[in-house]
Each structure stands twice: as C-alpha cells, then as structure tokens.
Amino acid sequence: MRFFSQYISYFQAAPLALIILLFLLFPVLTILVVSFWDYDSYRLIPDFITENYEFLLTSPVTYSAYLKTLFYAIATLVITLLIGFTVAYYIAFYIRNSFVQSLLFIACTVPFLTSNIIRMISWIPLLGRNGLVNSALLETHIIDEPIEWLLYSDFSVILAFVHLYTLFVVVPVFNSMMRIDRNLVEAAIDSGASAMQTITHVILPLCKSGLAIGSIFVMTLVMGDFITVTMMSGGLSASVGVLIRNEISLLQYPAAAANAIVLLGTVLIMLSVMFRFINIKKEL
C-alpha cells in the first residue's frame, strides 16, 4: 500500500507519458536515426553517414525552398494577424449581445466543416484564367486580358493559406479579448484615449499572448505544408514540405528524414523566439 501511494503520481502521469513516447518521441527518434542512413535507388542501408546533411545544406535548392517557405510563412502571418485581430475585435468589442457574439463566432468556423483540399480546390474555378474573377473583370471591361497571376502563383498560395488559417488567429485572439475587463476600455476612454489609442495602448498589449499563440499555429502549419503549395502554385514553387514529399516519392527516405530534422530544428528555433515574448502558462 505504501509502495502504491508513493508512486501514485507516476501511475497517473504514465498514460500521457506513454502516448508522448510512442507517438511523438519514438517517430522523431526514428527519423533522426534514419537521417544518418545510406540509401540507393531501391533500399535503405543502415549506416552512420552525414552525406544526407552535407548534400542538403550545400544545395542551392534547399536555400531557395527555405526562402520561399519563410516568405509564405511571414506573408501569411502578417495577413492572418491583421484579419484575425480585426475580426476578433469586431466580435469581442462591437457586438454587445452575447448570443449574436457566439453566433458570429460559430459562423467563423463554418467553412472548417469542409476539408482543406475542397476549400483549396474551390479557389481554382474562381481564380483560373477563365475563372469567375477574370471573366467578371473582362465583362466589365476593367481589364483587357485575363490576369495571369491570380492562380498558380505566390498570390494564390498565400490567399489559400490565409483562407485556411485565419481562424487559428481569430480563436486565441478572441479568447484573449474576452478576458479583457470592459472597464479597462472605459478607463482608457476616461483618460482621453481615442478608439485607435485604446487599441494600441490597451487592447493590443493585453492580447499579445493570443496573437503569439495564433502566430505559432500559423507559422508551424505553413512551414510544414506541402499540399497547399503544390496545388495552389500548380507545382511551380517548392516549399520545404514539397521538397520532403518529392524525396519520399523517390523513396529517398534518409534524405527526406534529414530534411525533416532540419525543418524541425528551424521551426523549434522560431518558436523559441516567439515564446520569449509571452508567458504561455498564463494563457492556459
């Protein structure tokens, strides 16, 4: 009995620890191990070589893919933060009726009832060369020939990312905003602050952690994405995710593993920088 009570907390922590061990640590360790293996065109050869990394880190393809991915991530982040903050602000502070508030909040999540892929594909008839947007613009004689950069371009990739991930900013920011004491807004107004000054001096600092959590979601999702980039760029741009996928389809698992490890490292470094700005424990 004493033995049991002494170790009871370990028993309680065991299920979670097992799950993390089995589904997180074990796969990552496997990838790490495989990234040092050798391979030829039809098999994996257990070994300890650093060639995978050497090739990866010296290839110009890697650098251009990382630059592209970072560009997507930062552009998406800026736009989703702007839209997400505005939407959350509107719902949290302009809508007084809490029923309407929850209704609008649910309305934000409705598009997420369909799959990512469907939502991406639905842009294609809209943005294509003969798509709705182009034909409408042609009809109204705003343009003389179809706009080429609407689809299969960086524009369409970022548009799809923004469409997919804005909600991941809205939710944590809305959550932070709902915790802001409404009296603080009145106190700011009482001190003579305009609506804009109230936002910059009171609301923005107080939803800093919500914004940071949203950024973490968007960053990690965009950095690891390959499907959106492939589909919306029509295979014309390559992000790191696309690179890894290509290597997997060529059965170059060790190369893909090395690439994945480097990506993991990059994202972890970015996250650790973000965590510097917030106290995540306070938010949970």
Contacts of 190 (CB under 8 A, 6+ apart): none
Mapped onto helix, strand or coil, the DSSP state of residue 46 is coil
Binding segment (CB under 8 A) for another protein, from list 11-19, 109-117, 167-175, 188-196: 188-196
Told to check if 188 binds another protein by CB under 8 A, we report yes
Question: Given the rule CB under 8 A, which of 28-36, 73-81, 97-105, 185-193 is the region that contacts another protein?
Answer: 185-193
Q: Contact between 98 and another protein (CB under 8 A)?
A: no
Closer by beta carbon to another protein, 70 or else 193: 193
A 10 A CB-CB count for 170 gives 23
Among residue numbers 105 through 134, which ones bind another protein (CB under 8 A)?
none
- Among the candidate windows 54-62, 66-74, 108-116, 190-198, which touches another protein by CB under 8 A? 190-198
Q: Is 181 in the site for another protein (CB under 8 A)?
A: yes
List the one residue from 46, 205, 235, 265 that touches another protein (CB under 8 A). 205
Quote the tokens at residue 41: 């065109």
CA angle 13, 18, 24 (to 5 degrees): 120
Answer yes or no whether residue 189 interacts with another protein by CB under 8 A: yes
**How many angstroms separate the CA atoms of 204 and 176, rounded?**
10
Among 9, 97, 98, 183, binds another protein (CB under 8 A): 183
| Contact predicate 39/52, CB 8 Å | no
Work out how close the CB of 192 gets to another protein at its nearest, in angstroms, rounded to a whole number.
Answer: 3
Q: 212 vs 81, 87, 140, 280, CA distance in Å?
A: 10, 16, 42, 9
Q: Counting contacts by CB under 8 A, is residue 191 touching another protein?
A: yes
Helix (H, G, I), strand (E, B) or coil at 101: helix
Find the part of the chain contacting another protein (CB under 8 A) among 23-31, 139-147, 179-187, 229-237: 179-187
Among 47, 197, 234, 280, binds another protein (CB under 8 A): 197
CA dihedral 148, 152, 154, 156 (to 10 degrees): 90
